[in-house]
Amino acid sequence: MPSRQQAPQTTADVASLREEWQKQKEMANLKRVFAMLDSDSNGLIGEKELNRALLRIGCRAKPGETADMIWEVDENCDGFVDWPEFVSMFDRCISDTTGLEPRGLFQLVEFLMHDSNNGGTISRDELMEILYSRFGKDQLLKKTREFFPKAAANGVEAAITFVEFKRFMTAIKPKRKTNRERAQAVLKPGG
Ligand SMILES: [Ca+2]
Ligand SMILES: [Ca+2]
């Protein structure tokens, strides 16, 4: 008997829909961040644009830092990051379980994706959300205990700057979860 298109029945179906939905949302957000970084809208992100983006969130790049961020992902070696290079960088970093992928540009992009009002900070809740979906519960509890006593001592409570975010994300290395594991973690917050 031919089967009709049906509502999802199993946890795997729901997880796969959730995964698809999450991917679409992520892609839209990624486009928003690319457009923001590409401030002259020529389809390429260059050093000057990265420097300006970092300044906007209160972070002055060290000499050569933005050149390195580009060089790490510049597959056609033109000195700029185009959209395909941008997406491929994001995919590589998000699915990296070795911790070996260069993360200079990725950390900035991940931060900007969550700083949705371009205020230069993300909330502690937003950070928790990133960590939970990317690293799972065990890492989250362990690492936040290590990090937040120090952060609180500096008077940092609710708002996290890019510099703090970078320090934190550099301190915790993957094991990152796969997309499917991430989707399932969202479905089953206890598991
Ligand atoms: Ca540009
Ligand atoms: Ca390029």
Domain ranges in the chain are: 13-187
For ligand 1, the distance from its centroid to the CA atom of residue 63, given in whole angstroms, is 20
For ligand 1, the distance from its centroid to the CA atom of residue 74, given in whole angstroms, is 14
43: left (phi over 0), alpha (psi -120 to 50) or beta: left
Identify the residue with better confidence: 15 or 52: 52
Which of the four CATH numbers 1.10.238.10, 3.40.50.300, 3.40.50.970, 1.10.1740.10 does domain 13-187 have? 1.10.238.10
Ligand (nearest to CA of 44)? 1
Ion ligand 1 neighbours, Cβ < 5 Å: 38, 40, 42, 44
What is the C-alpha separation between 76 and 17, in angstroms, rounded? 34
Cβ atoms within 10 Å, residue 111: 26
- In this prediction the pTM is 0.75
Cβ atoms within 10 Å, residue 186: 16
Q: Please write the tens of the pLDDT for every residue from 133-147.
A: 777 777 777 767 666
For ligand 1, the distance from its centroid to the CA atom of residue 33, given in whole angstroms, is 12
Q: Please write the tens of the pLDDT for every residue from 143-182.
A: 676 666 655 555 445 688 898 888 888 777 655 555 565 6
For ligand 2, the distance from its centroid to the CA atom of residue 53, given in whole angstroms, is 18
Ligand (nearest to CA of 78)? 2
Alpha helices in 57-123, H assignment, sequence order: 65-71, 83-94, 104-114
For ligand 1, the distance from its centroid to the CA atom of residue 48, given in whole angstroms, is 9
